[in-house]
């Protein structure tokens, strides 16, 4: 696995821990998983700055707004600003601050900011990978529960005769967003891993529908 040239792990983890709230989908374990996914992607890009990637992975959720918050699209920008201030206080390498801030800003799906560096592309892919697969599915239903969403539409869970609405129905989120993520991945490894995890989600959805419709 690719490791950063300096060991900032403890300091980054301590800083992130100051801002973690009660959201179980965006806790310290989520940050660890994003960094582990990023390390896999870094293996394909030996020239990428691993310390920039690690810092952005651990600090990308310093500002974490609920999915249904009208200011959600601004969260990553605010997180980048906050990360920059705190990293300066910790004497983080000054020449890497812009790159960390951009990677944090661009990681967010709702922000719609294109990642222009390989470091930002890796962080974005790594964060999206954690929305897929078994853990991603658990995070989906956990978040839906916090938002007060129903599991699925009572009479048309497939969405064949209605518009999909993942704010109201948790199952809709697989088709509305999660299935689209592999195509948005910036790296070849991200796309490959993303497609593998989405296939698992498709199989889960098929099983869910079979049980739901037989009731």
- Taking the C-alpha atoms of residue 118 and residue 120, their distance in angstroms, rounded to an integer, is 5
In this predicted structure, which of 13-22, 41-50, 81-90 has the lowest mean pLDDT? Answer: 13-22
- Listed by start position, the domains of the chain span 9-123, 134-214
Across 1-23, b (16+ Cβ under 10 Å) vs e yields ebebeeebeebbeebbeeebeeb
pTM beyond 0.75: the answer is yes
Overall fold of domain 134-214: Hypothetical protein af1432 (1.10.3210)
Indicate the CATH number for domain 9-123. Answer: 1.10.3210.50
Nearest CA to 52 out of 114, 94, 17, 89 is that of: 94
pLDDT, tens digit, for every residue of 39-70?
999 999 999 999 999 999 999 999 887 676 67
pLDDT in tens, 136-177: 999 999 999 999 999 999 999 999 999 999 999 999 999 999
């Amino acid at each position: 696995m690719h490791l950063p040239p300096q060991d900032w792990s403890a300091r980054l983890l301590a800083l992130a821990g100051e801002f973690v709230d009660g959201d179980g989908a965006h806790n310290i374990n989520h940050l660890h998983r994003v960094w582990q996914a990023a390390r896999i992607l870094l293996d394909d890009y030996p020239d990428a700055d691993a310390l920039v990637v690690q810092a952005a992975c651990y600090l990308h959720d310093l500002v974490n707004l609920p999915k249904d918050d009208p200011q959600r699209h601004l969260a990553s920008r605010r997180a980048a600003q906050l990360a920059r201030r705190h990293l300066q206080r910790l004497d983080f390498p000054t020449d890497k601050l812009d790159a960390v801030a951009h990677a944090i800003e661009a990681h967010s799906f709702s922000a719609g900011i294109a990642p222009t560096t390989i470091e930002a592309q890796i962080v974005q892919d790594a964060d999206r990978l954690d929305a897929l697969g078994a853990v991603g599915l658990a995070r989906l239903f956990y978040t839906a529960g916090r938002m007060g969403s129903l599991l699925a539409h009572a009479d048309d869970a497939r969405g064949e005769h209605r518009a999909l609405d993942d704010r109201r129905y948790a199952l809709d989120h697989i088709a509305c967003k999660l299935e689209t993520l592999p195509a948005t991945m910036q790296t070849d490894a991200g796309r490959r891993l993303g497609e593998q995890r989405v296939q698992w989600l498709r199989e889960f959805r098929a099983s869910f529908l079979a049980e739901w419709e037989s009731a």
